[in-house]
Structure 1
C-alpha cells in the first residue's frame, strides 16, 4: 500500500477511534460522577465524621493514580483496547465492593472498594491519550479534547442519579447511598464490553506499525515509567505540561471533594433537598470540566499550549476565591465557583496533556502518559486527604485558600519556560 493510499485509511481509523472512545467515556461518566457525588457522603455516613469524607474521596483519587501505571503498562504491551477494558473491569469490582461495604457499614472495606473504583477515572483519563495516538500534530489538541468533551453527557447527568440511586438502594434493601454504585457497576461493565468489541484496530499498535515497529511490546518494562518521566522532564515543554496537569487536577480535587460536605452543613434544608442541590452544583462543575473542552482544544492548537495553561491557572485562582467565600447555603455562588474550577481544570489538563504527548517519541508515550497520570493522581490524593482536616480546622475558605496556593509552582514553571 502506498503512502497516498494509506493516509485516507488512517484518517478513517482515527475518526472511528475518536467516536468509539467518545461513546465509551460518555457512558462511563455516569458511573464516575455518581461516585464523586456520593462517595464522600457515604464515607461520612459509615464513619460519622467529616474527616472520613475526605478519606473516601482520597481513596478513589489514589486508586486512579496508582492504577494508572499498571494500566498504562498493559496498554504498552497489548494496546489501548486491553488496557482500557481491564481498567473498567477493575472498576466494576470496586463498585460492587463499595456496595457490600455500605451494607456492612465497614469503612476499611469501603476504602478498598473506592480505591478500585478509581480505575474508572484512570481509564477516562487514559482514553484521551488513545485519541492522540493517530492524530496529526495540528489536530492533536482538538482530537484529545473531543474525548474529554464526550464525558459531558454522562458526567452532567451522573450527579443527578444520586437521588434515584438512593431509591434503588432502599428498594433492594441497601443503605440509600450504596444504590448509586449499583448503577456504576452496570455502566462500567457495558463500557468494557463495548471497547473490547469496537476499538479495532487498536490505535496505539497501529501507530507503532505505521512508524515502522511491530506493534505490541514484550513484557518486562520495569523502570520504563521512571525513564519516560525523566525524558519528559528534560524538555521545557514537557516540564510545563506535567506541572500543568498535576496542579490543575490537585486544585480541582482539593476544592471539589469538600464542596458536598460543605453544603451538607447548610441549615434549613432536609436531606433530600440538600442531596438535590449538591447534585446540581456538581453537575455545573462537571459541565465546566468537559462541556467546553473542544473550545479549549481549539485554543490549545491555535493560541498555543502555553497560553492555554496560563488561562487555566487564572481560572483556578478565580474559582477558589468565589467558592471559598460562599456560605453552605449559597448554592448559586458555589455553582459559579465550581464552573470556573472545571474550566481551569480543562485548560490545564488538555494543554498539559498535549505538551506531555509531544515531548517524547511515540515509543515512549504510554509510559510517559501513565507516569504523568500517576503524579497527577498522587497530587490530587494529597489535596483530597488534606481537605477533611482543613475543613474541620478552618472551614471551606481554608480548603479553597490552600488549594489556590498550589497554583504558585505552575506560575513559576510557566515564567521560567518563557
Structure 2
C-alpha cells in the first residue's frame, strides 16, 4: 500500500494550530476591546435618550428592545455569512452596520426624529450581534477540553471597552454639546468610531480565518466529547435555553436600573458608574468562568448562573432606592450570573454543533437570545410603571430559576 495512504491526516501546511489559535485570540481581543465601547453606549444612555425625547418612563425600555431586536435580525446574517465566507466578513459586517446605526441615532436625536431613531437603534444592534458572536470565533480552533476557556478569553476582552465606554458618558456629553448636539449623543459619537475600527482590525488581521481553517481539520481535531448522534439537537436547545433566560433577566433589570436611580435622586454619573461595574461583571470574570465550566461541567455552572441571578434580583428588589452601594452590588451579581450562563451555554452549543453547520447554528442561537433580550427590554418599562422596579427584579429572579429544572431534566434523560 502506498505510504501516503497509511499516514494519518495532519493539519494544513502553515503555522501550527496552537500558534494560529493564539494569534486568533489576540486579534479578537483587540476587536472586542473596541466593540465593547460601542456595546456600552446603548446600555448606558439609550434609555435616558429616549426618555428625554418622548418624556415617558414607560417607553424608556424601548431602545433596549429595539437594539436587541436588531441584534436578533443581524445574528441571522452574521451567522450565515460566517458559515459561507468565514468569521472575518461576518463579524466585520456587523460592526460596520453598528457604526452606521450610531450615526443614525445621533442624527435622529439632533433632528428630533423618532422614526429615524427607531430605525437606527435596530441597525445599531448589529454591532452587538457581532460582539457576541465573536466568542464563537474564539472556540473554532480550540481543543474541546479548552473551549470554554477560549470563549471566556474573547468575552473578557469586552470588559475594557465596555467599562471605559460607560464612564465616558459625562465627558462625551460635553463634546456633543460643543458640537451643537444633545449631550446624551456624545457616547454614540465614540461608539461609531470604535465599531468602525473593530471592523478594520478584523478585516486586516484575522488571517487565516479561524472558521474556514476549522473546516479543513481532520475529524479527530473537531470531535466533541459531550454530544453524539441524536443528542446534538437536544443539547443545542439546552444551551440556547440557558443563555436566553440569562439574557432576559439581565436585560430587563439592567435597562430599568438607571431610570430607577435617576427617579430617586441619583445623577447620570452615578448611573454610569453602576452600569460600568455591571458591564465589567458581565465580562471580567470570564477566564474564571471558562476554567469552572471546563473543570466542573456545563450543567453545574448553568445551575450556578441561575442561583446567582436569583440573588441579584432579590438584592435589587430589597435595596433602598437611595442606596448606591446595594444597587451596585445587585448589578454586579447580575452581570456575573449572566456571564456564567453565557459561557456554559456557549460551551454546550459549541460542543453539540458539528462544524459543517456550526456557524449557522450559533447564529440561530443568538437570534433566540436577542429575541429574549428584546422582550425583556421592551416590557421592563411597562412593568416598572405598573407595579414598580422591585417587582420587576423579583420576577426576573423567578424566571432565572427556570434554568435549573431544564438542565436537571436534561441530565436525567
Pairwise TM-score range, normalised by the shorter structure: over 0.9
Q: Name the CA distance, whole Å, in 2 between partners of 1:403 and 1:71.
A: 29
Give the alignment of 1:29-178 within 5 angstroms.
Answer: 29-178=36-185
Contact 1:232 1:368 in 2 (8 A): no
Partner of residue 360, structure 2: 367
Q: Name the CA distance, whole Å, in 1 between partners of 2:41 and 2:372.
A: 22
| Alignment partner of 1:276 out of 259, 262, 269 | 269
Superposition deviation, residue 3 in structure 1 = 2.7
Give ranges in structure 2 of 5+ residues lacking alignment.
1-7, 220-228
The Cα offsets for residues 337-356 of structure 1, whole Å up to 9 and x where unpaired, read as 01111110001000101101
Q: Name the CA distance, whole Å, in 2 between partners of 1:128 and 1:263.
A: 32
Partner of residue 261, structure 2: 263
The Cα offsets for residues 332-382 of structure 1, whole Å up to 9 and x where unpaired, read as 111100111111000100010110111121111111101110001101111
Contact 2:9 2:218 in 1 (8 A): no
Distance of aligned partners of 1:358 and 1:2 in 2 relative to their CA distance in 1, 3 Å threshold: closer
Distance of aligned partners of 1:260 and 1:4 in 2 relative to their CA distance in 1, 3 Å threshold: closer
Which sits farther off after the overlay, 396-405 or 384-393? Answer: 396-405
Partner of residue 244, structure 2: 246
Contact 2:302 2:345 in 1 (8 A): yes
Q: Name the CA distance, whole Å, in 2 between partners of 1:7 and 1:368.
A: 29
Partner of residue 191, structure 2: 184
Superposition deviation, residue 17 in structure 1 = 0.3
Q: Name the CA distance, whole Å, in 1 between partners of 2:372 and 2:379.
A: 11
The Cα offsets for residues 171-223 of structure 1, whole Å up to 9 and x where unpaired, read as 100011112111111111111111100000000001112248xxxxxxxxxxx
Q: Name the CA distance, whole Å, in 2 between partners of 1:232 and 1:28.
A: 37
Partner of residue 402, structure 2: 409
Q: Name the CA distance, whole Å, in 1 between partners of 2:159 and 2:97.
A: 23
Matched, 1:356 2:354: no
Q: Name the CA distance, whole Å, in 1 between partners of 2:321 and 2:379.
A: 19
Partner of residue 341, structure 1: 334
Partner of residue 224, structure 1: none
Report the number of matched residues: 395
- Tell me the SS of whatever aligns to 2:59: helix
Matched, 1:289 2:282: yes
Partner of residue 391, structure 1: 384
Which sits farther off after the overlay, 318-327 or 402-411? Answer: 402-411
Partner of residue 315, structure 2: 322
Partner of residue 225, structure 2: none
Contact 1:233 1:239 in 2 (8 A): no
Give ranges in structure 1 of 5+ residues lacking alignment.
213-230
Q: Name the CA distance, whole Å, in 2 between partners of 1:101 and 1:5.
A: 50
The Cα offsets for residues 216-241 of structure 1, whole Å up to 9 and x where unpaired, read as xxxxxxxxxxxxxxx99864433321
Give the alignment of 1:291-306 within 5 angstroms.
Answer: 291-306=284-299
Which sits farther off after the overlay, 7-16 or 104-113? Answer: 7-16
Q: Name the CA distance, whole Å, in 1 between partners of 2:232 and 2:196.
A: 40
Distance of aligned partners of 1:178 and 1:349 in 2 relative to their CA distance in 1, 3 Å threshold: same
Q: Name the CA distance, whole Å, in 2 between partners of 1:238 and 1:197.
A: 32
Contact 1:128 1:144 in 2 (8 A): yes
Partner of residue 202, structure 1: 209
Q: Name the CA distance, whole Å, in 2 between partners of 1:245 and 1:167.
A: 37
Contact 1:383 1:403 in 2 (8 A): no
Partner of residue 400, structure 1: 393
Contact 2:47 2:255 in 1 (8 A): yes
Q: Name the CA distance, whole Å, in 2 between partners of 1:41 and 1:8.
A: 49
Q: Name the CA distance, whole Å, in 1 between partners of 2:270 and 2:406.
A: 38
Distance of aligned partners of 1:8 and 1:90 in 2 relative to their CA distance in 1, 3 Å threshold: closer
Superposition deviation, residue 120 in structure 1 = 1.2
Q: Name the CA distance, whole Å, in 1 between partners of 2:383 and 2:230.
A: 33
